[in-house]
Structures are given as structure tokens and as C-alpha cells.
Amino acid sequence: MAEQPRFREWVVNEAVEGFLRQKAGEAARLQWFFDLQANTAEGKCKVSNLCGFDPTQQTVKWEADAPLKFDYTSPDLSQQRFISTYGGVRPDFQFWVPGAKKQVLVECKGEEYQSKKHLYHAQRYFNYLSDHGLTGAVVYLVPPEYEKQWMKVAEGLTAREGVRYGVICWDSDFLRTLRFDLVGVLSKLVQESTNLLQEALKEI
């Protein structure tokens, strides 16, 4: 069996964003994500079941690489505290139901889990959802070889009511769905590198 290609996390991240942003079959693409299987402490379950909402039943909005948003309706969280605690925090993806207190934060990681390095950031995501009175989930998207390691995050987290944790593996089936988007991301990288090389050669 051929070894699965090893992609850097930013490549997978950009491919997922490119896939979801395409207008053709937009609803089906969003549903694809919510139908993905996430590994949880209780076993496998769909992302839609993990977070408690589904694009087939209600409108779902999303953003990529965007800062967390301050909720002016949260009486227990001042804007100053929000900025000091969550300012600069940008999950790779945020999915939410407009007008409802439901949200999913997704982070893409292509490296081994290290509790000293990563647990603090995972806990901030949980705290953010809890501080805003939100239910939903925090999900990590990782390569197969690190899936079990990233499940250890749940062991160190301070649990928050209504907020669950899961890990999605970017296995061969996942990457096959994104194959054209992966090619697009890598082709763009090659073109940019070629342009830089050409510019550098002009100076020689």
C-alpha cells in the first residue's frame, strides 16, 4: 500500500478553505464537513452530532482565519477583559448558527501534541465558548499519525458544560475529497517560488 502523502498543516488548511468557498455545490460542501467523523472520548460521531447543529436543519455561517468575536450581549464579559484574554486568537475555522448560541471552533495541526505548548490554547477556545454562553465544540484537524496524541487534549482540559471536544483525522478519504484543492494550493506555491527565483536571477 502506498504511503499517504504528508502535507503541512497550512496546505491542508488552505485546501479546506478553498473547497468550502466554491459556490458550485456550496451547501453539499458544507454538509461534507459536518458529516465528517470526529473521534471523541465516547467514540466516533459526526461533527453535526458533536456540536449540536446541522446545515440541513438550520442556516450555518463560517469564516476562516478570523479573530474571535466579542459578544456585546454577554453581561459577565467586559470588552476590556475580552481583548486581554482573546485578542489575537484566530482559529482556522469558525462555524456558527446566526441568532443562536451555537458554534464550532476548528484548529488544524500537523505536529505532535505537546501539552505545555498546545493545552493552553485549547483551553482558551473552551473558555471563549463558555464565557459567551455558547454550546458547541472545539475540534482539531490532524494527520493520522497524531490522532491519538491529540485526543490527550481532553484529559487536560477543564470541562465546560455544553462544549465538547473532538479530533478529525485527515486520512486518505479526507484528502481524496480535497485533491483538486490541494493541487491548486501546491501549484500556487510552485508558481510563487518560480517568480521569486526569476526575480533573484535578474539580480545576478
pTM: 0.86
Q: Work out the angle at residue 187's Cα, subtended by the Cα atoms of residues 182 and 190, and round it to the nearest 5 degrees.
A: 130
Q: Which residues pair with 139 in a beta bridge?
A: 106, 166
- Cα separation, 115 vs 138, in Å, equals 16
Print pLDDT tens along the chain (204 aa): 445 567 889 999 999 999 999 989 999 999 999 999 999 999 999 999 999 999 999 999 999 999 987 766 565 667 788 888 888 889 999 999 988 789 999 999 999 999 888 999 999 999 999 888 889 999 999 999 999 999 999 888 887 788 999 999 999 999 999 999 998 888 876 666 666 656 666 666
The C-alpha R_g of the chain, in whole angstroms, comes to 18
**Grid coordinates of 143:** 494527520
Give the end-to-end CA distance of the chain in Å, rounded to a whole number. Answer: 46
163-169 sheet: strands from edge to edge: 43-46, 37-40, 163-169, 135-142, 102-108, 93-96, 61-64
Query: Rounded to whole angstroms, how far apart are CA atoms 141 and 173?
Result: 14
